[in-house]
Every structure is written in C-alpha cells, then in structure tokens.
Amino acid sequence: GAVVSQHPSRVICKSGTSVKIECRSLDFQATTMFWYRQFPKQSLMLMATSNEGSKATYEQGVEKDKFLINHASLTLSTLTVTSAHPEDSSFYICSARASSGGTNTGELFFGEGSRLTVL
Amino acid sequence: AQSVTQLGSHVSVSEGALVLLRCNYSSSVPPYLFWYVQYPNQGLQLLLKYTTGATLVKGINGFEAEFKKSETSFHLTKPSAHMSDAAEYFCAVSGDTGRRALTFGSGTRLQVQP
C-alpha cells in the first residue's frame, strides 16, 4: 500500500526552540494532508488541514502562529512547532489523502508519528 | 458534525476468545466509517472501512465490522483473539463522501491474556 513517512520519529528539544516535522507521501501525490496531535493514552485530535499551494485551515483552539504548516508540494507537508514549551510535548501524526488519478484515489494514509519532547 | 463514541476504554480477553470492540457514531450525512489499530509509539494502520454497499466489512488480521444504520453502530469483532492483537483500537468517522478529515473515538485498549 501507499506509504507516508514522517521525520523525525523522535525529537527532544529545549524550551524556546523551534522544531520542524516533515510528512512525505512516498509513492503518491497528496493535495490534502491532515495534522493530528495525540496526548498520552488519548485519541487523535485534528489540528489542521493542509492543502498544497494554499494556507492551512486550523481547527478551533489551535494557534496558527504556534504551529506553522507548509504544504509546498504534492508530496511534502511540514509542521513547525515554534518556541516550543513543555506543554507542546506530544505525539504528532500526519495523514495524506491520495489525489485523483492513482490507484489509491481518495484513500487516507497515516504516517508513523513523531514524538516531540520539550525539556 | 460527526462524533464517535467507543464504549470501554479497556477490554481484556483471553487468547482464543471473541473480541468485540464497540463503536457508535453520529453523523449528519451518510458516514464513512473506519477502524484503525495503533501499536505503541507507532502511527495508525487501517484495519477496515465501510463506505457504501455491503454492511459487513472484512479487514486485515481476521477482523470484521458491521455497519448498522438503525443502531448507528460499527462494532469491531474477531472470532479468536491472538496475543499479537493487543493494541489500541480507534474507530473513526468521516462525512462528505469521506473527503474530510476523520473524527476519532477515544480509543479502546485491547489486552489479550494468555
């Protein structure tokens, strides 16, 4: 099946620094990617919808200046956590929806997740 | 608007016993329904999905689920649990022909006892 890769899988940073997480669709094009956040032992909460070539749409309560999302190509979306604080520590998961025309049209695929720890 | 309720945050079964994980949904449009499995520190793997057509859906690893519109349910079952089934399971719903983001339930942790 289609593969979505996230990098890094784990990152530890100091408070106040910025961290970038990449989400790549390896063998398909994705016009839409979704970013989720998962707290320990909890479900996934949608943070934002990322559309290639346009601004991301953020869910209510998610600070867009805190969580910068860029979707510059059909295979890459990035989430940058700016001025990270310990409360930003979480598991971040991206998902990508295959664009029309391929064998996986409309399918949604998830990355492996990125665990962020802010000290 | 959509929502998902998973009854039971923890389910424990014996190896070889029936697995039943409950999921009820609400959706203002015909729903697309999904079950995902998550192993520790990993992403989500799709077990099965219902879009249209046959209401009994078979997925990977011997799991299946039945869409019951009258009960707004999409319970996940497996006839015989295996130790490797121990994981977190999430039910999710998507409306609008499935093109929107998924709304997830709170998850159910399945434990399999030897």
Q: Count Cβ–Cβ pairs < 8 Å, chain A vs chain B.
A: 44
Of B45, B98, B104, nearest to A44 by CB-CB distance is B104
Would you state the pLDDT for residue B97? 55
Nearest residue in A to B88, CA atom: A41
B contacts of A4 (beta carbons < 8 Å): 43
User: If pLDDT is split at 50, 70 and 90, which confidence band does A1 have?
Assistant: low
pLDDT at B41: 77
Least CB-CB distance to B104: which of A32, A43, A91? A43
CB within 8 Å of B47: residues ≥ 6 apart: B34, B35, B36, B37, B59, B60, B61, B63, B76, B89
Mean per-residue pLDDT of chain B: 91
Region B51-63 average pLDDT: 93
Q: Which residues of A touch B41 (CB under 8 A)?
A: 91, 113, 115
- Among the partner-chain residues B43, B103, B104, the one whose CB lies closest to the CB of A113 is B43
Q: pLDDT tens across A53-92, in order?
A: 888 999 999 999 999 999 989 999 999 999 999 999 999 9
Asked if B105 and B92 count as a contact pair (C-beta separation under 8 A), the reply is: yes
For residues A33 and A50, give the distance between their C-alpha atoms in angstroms, rounded to a whole number.
5
Q: What is the mean pLDDT of residues B69-80?
A: 96
pLDDT at A83: 96
Q: pLDDT-derived band of residue B81, with 50, 70 and 90 as boundaries?
A: very high
Cβ(A56)–Cβ(A69) under 8 Å?
yes
Lowest mean pLDDT among A23-27, B38-42, B97-101: B97-101
Nearest chain A residue (CA) to B102? A46
Interval A10-66: pLDDT, tens:
999 999 999 999 999 998 888 889 999 998 878 899 999 998 888 899 999 999 999
Do residue B44 and residue A93 have CB atoms under 8 angstroms apart?
Answer: yes
**pLDDT at position B100:** 72
Question: Is B95 in CB contact (< 8 Å) with chain A?
Answer: no
